[in-house]
Amino acid sequence: MKNVTAAIIEHNGRYLLARRSEGQNLAGFWEFPGGKIEANETPEDCLIRELREELHLETRVLEYFCNSVYHYEKGSINLMAYLTEILDGEIQLTVHDEVGWFLPPEMFKLNLAPADIPIAERLAVCQP
User: Which has the minimum average pLDDT: 4-8, 74-78, 113-117?
Assistant: 74-78
pLDDT in tens, 14-55: 999 999 999 888 778 999 999 999 999 999 999 999 999 999
Assign a CATH topology to domain 2-122.
Answer: Nucleoside Triphosphate Pyrophosphohydrolase (3.90.79)
Q: Chain-wide mean pLDDT for the chain?
A: 94
Residues of the chain with pLDDT > 70, as a percent, come to: 98
Domain residue ranges in the chain: 2-122
Q: How far apart are CA 75 and CA 25, in angstroms?
A: 12
Q: Percent helix, strand and coil across the chain, each rounded to 5?
A: 25, 45, 30
pTM strictly above 0.85? yes
